[in-house]
Structure 1
Amino acid sequence: MIGPYLKILKKRSFSLLWLGQIVSQFGDRLTQMALIGFVYRIAPHSSLSLAKIMSLAIIPVFILSPVAGVYIDRWNKQRVMWVSDFLRGVFILTIPFLLGLTSLLFIYVFIFLSFCVGRFFIPAKMAIVPSLVEKKEVFMANSLISTTAMISAILGFGLGGVIVERLGIRSAFIIDATTFFASAFFISLMRIKEKSWFRPQDIIELSKKAITEVKNSFIFDIKQGVKYLWKEQETKFAVRTFFVLFSCVGALYVVFIVFIQDTLSSATLELGKLAVGAGVGLFLGSLLYGRVAHRFSVKRVINIAMFFASGYLIFFVTLLRVTPSKNFAFFSCFLLGLFAAPIIIAVNGLIHTKSEDEFWGRTFSSLEVVIHFAFLIFMFISSYLAEIFSPFTIILFVGIIIFSFSLVSLGGKGND
């Protein structure tokens, strides 16, 4: 069973990429935990301050994702990856030396820049995989990268929480920077022949082309993608579900972090443990649902999963508030991950089966913009409301909304 994977890992360049992305993925999650610890230090119990920091990770999606491909198609992809991670390391390493300043502006700038260059790493990684393995091994190679990336992310959250709380924010950022330097080193050792048409003077030309891409192609394709998604009843259901789901996740994100920090009296340690629980739940839930997905109606699975996830969320936060228990919190996050896994898989599967493959690119690009927009907007709405209401109240309200939405959907037509 693991033989084919070991065969792929024997390919030197692929194994170096695999190692590099594991370390880089770990660094991504450590960055998030370090930022959470940083906000807890400068503005404890503030959902709004946390939302402002976390928005720096989301805004580059809108600014750079549409144009990153224009550059990556022209540049050497291996160089893009190691330079991207090297720059992330430099930007992150600069932050510890700025922690003593009274103004946070420079810290915000370097955090934003680190996430901006990160937008070039992922598409370059996905684009280079087919050139590292044989055509028949591409699917297995992507599967190996995705699975290990999820495991690395889970470990990043867990160990990140420990590192930030035990060693401090300054040390966490230094270790974080080291992971990106290590990733850049591994990737730089790859031996691959790539055509690169980039010249220094191309920067201006590519910038103009990128802007044109956004105006003439990206925006047009997004509109076409949304229109296409809205034609079919099934894809319309998928878009509506994703929009509601990510609006609620955005609304919950920062207030849930603050709620856990206040309830369990921990800046990052317990958050890291809960993230591990949720990650393991998502991983196992994905495996379990993948084995039985063909037996059930996709719509019904989505609605039932949302029903149980939201119902348990309400029960979880209510009981945790009354009797704070770290073990109960960990187990509950595991169950929430288990319940949520089928939703994401089922919605993506619904779009794949109900749309034509020639539209998949613009369809998923449109979907990515929609869900990130929903996440960002509702994250700020809930963080502003958290200045008036308690995080518990907002979590409870959001849980009731999801519960009601799933209940109405289950009672409606077209679930089978």
Structure 2
Amino acid sequence: MSFFGDLRVVLRGPRFRRLFGTRLASQFSDGVYQAGLAGFVFFSPEQHTSAGAVAAAFAVLLLPFSVVAPFAGVLIDRWPRRQVLLLSSLAKAALGVLTAVLVGSGAGTSFFVAALLVMSVNRFFLSALSAALPYVVPRDKLMMANAVTPTSGTVASFLGAGTGAAIGLVGGDAALGTGLILFVAALGFAGAAGVSLTLGRRELGPHLEREPEAVREAVGGVLRGMVAGVRHIRARPAARDGLLTIGGHRVLFGLVTLMTLLLYNNTFTGGGVAGFAGFSVVTGLSGVGFFLGAVATPWATARMSPSAWISLLLGTAAMVLAVCGPPFSPVLFPVAAFVLGLVSQGVKVTVDTLVQRHVDDAFRGRVFSVYDMLFNATFVLGAALAAALVPPSGVSVPVVAGAAAAFLLMSLAWAARARWTASPEETPERAA
């Protein structure tokens, strides 16, 4: 089928539309919330942000995701996933109101604690969405569903971030504007909870009564469950290699993101509103790239193997970063952001589908929690590397060249895998 034919088939399912609507409402609100955090944490007009300060902020904002993720996965494989979506959305709404109040009252440390709780709870929500997707679409449409849902969620987040930035301008005063942004985000989280109620309590699994007794026992403990999930991945080469690639890619993406933020805060502009505006433009172009990467991936994987497609994407990232990076031009960096956004989402959609197709349902929640943990921890690792290697100006030709070389090496590895794999997609049985 053509891309648009598959898209129509996926959107035709009422259960898919309900899950899709829950995602869009929540991730739009995530974008609004993150706009408030970005303006509050990264673009203070009083000072230029150092690489170490930005890396520390990323660690504070993202590492709790990795700590929560293992526990989220085990519970998602035990609790009704619709309930996880509902309760996590309500928790985010309450915490969003709390952070808005704390900002308005001038609170410091307590604001960050509340913000960390919001994003930690979000791990439950996003992991449940991924684990629930195979329940609402046919197996042969998972690639298309993975292109439509996470990507549309990412686009919704970018739109939410733009909306949040506009709300901040209306608010005027920094504290008042940030508080207003966070309150609007809380209203959106409450709306996502309402949309999730259109799905049945047990409609999204898990159905453990259909699994062997050994599987039911495996979800009895968090650590035992995580170990079982890792072993499950290790026995399936397609999923394993995909997750390793996501980890490497996110290290590089974190490095380039921190470098870009420093450039717009300390070199391309004088920081403050101008820095935030410039970085927002780059982020918006990256969002367009995300969307196009998702659109292109189902079309491309219908014509070549997933391994070949990942290789092509990573090779493109290497070339564009090598060409557009070293001049450190405010004209070329947005071009690189667009292409890296396309590459990032193209790789992620492909890997998402490989993981979903090659892991059993009883392990999906834990596997996607491992995925989330890897996704965030490696981004922070990339930011930490940038903090150690990149000066406050953000200008470093050796770092850009090293990132381009790393992309190229990963591309060559997937090209080799494409040659060795006899069929475009390994079956779970063959992988095991």
- Quick check: TM above 0.5? yes
> Residue 186 of structure 1 aligns with which residue?
195
Structure 2 CA distance for partners of 1:378 and 1:6, relative to 1, 3 Å: closer
Deviations 1:276-317 (A, max 9, x none): 221222222332243233544655554443333233234434
Name the aligned partner's letter for residue 185 of structure 1.
G
> More displaced, 178-187 or 261-270?
261-270
> Residue 21 of structure 1 aligns with which residue?
23
> Residue 53 of structure 2 aligns with which residue?
49
Using the size of structure 2 for normalisation, the TM-score is 0.72
Confirm whether residue 286 of structure 1 aligns to residue 294 of structure 2.
yes
RMSD: 4.2
Structure 2 CA distance for partners of 1:368 and 1:107, relative to 1, 3 Å: closer
Name the aligned partner's letter for residue 398 of structure 2.
F
Confirm whether residue 8 of structure 1 aligns to residue 7 of structure 2.
no
Separation in 1 of the partners of 2:56 and 2:67? 17
The correspondence of residues 17-416 of structure 1 with structure 2, limited to 5 A, is: 17-39=19-41, 40-41=43-44, 44-72=48-76, 75=79, 77-99=81-103, 104-126=108-130, 145-146=149-150, 148-165=152-169, 167=171, 168-188=177-197, 190=198, 192=200, 194=202, 213-222=221-230, 224-225=231-232, 227-228=234-235, 238=242, 240-262=244-266, 263-264=268-269, 265=271, 266-293=274-301, 295-296=303-304, 299=307, 301-321=309-329, 324-325=330-331, 329-346=333-350, 361=364, 366-386=370-390, 388=391, 390-393=393-396, 396-407=397-408, 414=416, 416=419
1:237 Cα deviation (Å)?
A: 5.8
Using CA pairs under 8 Å that are at least 6 residues apart, name the structure with larger relative contact order, 1 or 2: 2
1:172 Cα deviation (Å)?
A: 1.6
Deviations 1:238-296 (A, max 9, x none): 55543332221222233322322332452433333322221222222332243233544
Deviations 1:125-181 (A, max 9, x none): 4566677x6979995877654453233123223333443455432322222222112
Separation in 1 of the partners of 2:147 and 2:393? 41
> More displaced, 362-371 or 265-274?
362-371
> More displaced, 356-365 or 243-252?
356-365
1:93 Cα deviation (Å)?
A: 2.0
Structure 2 CA distance for partners of 1:273 and 1:7, relative to 1, 3 Å: same
Deviations 1:170-196 (A, max 9, x none): 3222222221122223334x363549x
Separation in 1 of the partners of 2:22 and 2:371? 28
Separation in 2 of the partners of 1:117 and 1:43? 31
**Could you tell me whether the CA contact under 8 Å between 1:72 and 1:124 is conserved in 2?**
yes
Structure 2 CA distance for partners of 1:211 and 1:116, relative to 1, 3 Å: farther
Counterpart of 2:200 in 1: which secondary structure?
A: coil
Name the aligned partner's letter for residue 31 of structure 1.
Y
Deviations 1:179-219 (A, max 9, x none): 1122223334x363549xxxxxxxxxxxxx99962332313
Structure 2 CA distance for partners of 1:255 and 1:359, relative to 1, 3 Å: farther
Counterpart of 2:416 in 1: which secondary structure?
A: coil
Structure 2 CA distance for partners of 1:30 and 1:304, relative to 1, 3 Å: same
Deviations 1:51-88 (A, max 9, x none): 33333443333332222244445555444333322221
Counterpart of 1:37 in 2: which secondary structure?
A: helix
**Could you tell me whether the CA contact under 8 Å between 1:310 and 1:399 is conserved in 2?**
no
**Could you tell me whether the CA contact under 8 Å between 2:317 and 2:407 is conserved in 1?**
no
Separation in 1 of the partners of 2:95 and 2:169? 22
**Could you tell me whether the CA contact under 8 Å between 1:261 and 1:267 is conserved in 2?**
yes
Separation in 1 of the partners of 2:262 and 2:182? 21
Q: Aligned pairs, how many?
A: 387
Counterpart of 1:392 in 2: which secondary structure?
A: coil
1:356 Cα deviation (Å)?
A: 7.3
Name the aligned partner's letter for residue 102 of structure 2.
L
**Could you tell me whether the CA contact under 8 Å between 2:286 and 2:339 is conserved in 1?**
yes
Separation in 2 of the partners of 1:122 and 1:236? 20
Counterpart of 2:49 in 1: which secondary structure?
A: coil
**Could you tell me whether the CA contact under 8 Å between 1:164 and 1:268 is conserved in 2?**
no
Using the size of structure 1 for normalisation, the TM-score is 0.74
Q: Which runs of 5+ in 1 are unaligned?
A: 196-208
**Could you tell me whether the CA contact under 8 Å between 2:127 and 2:368 is conserved in 1?**
no
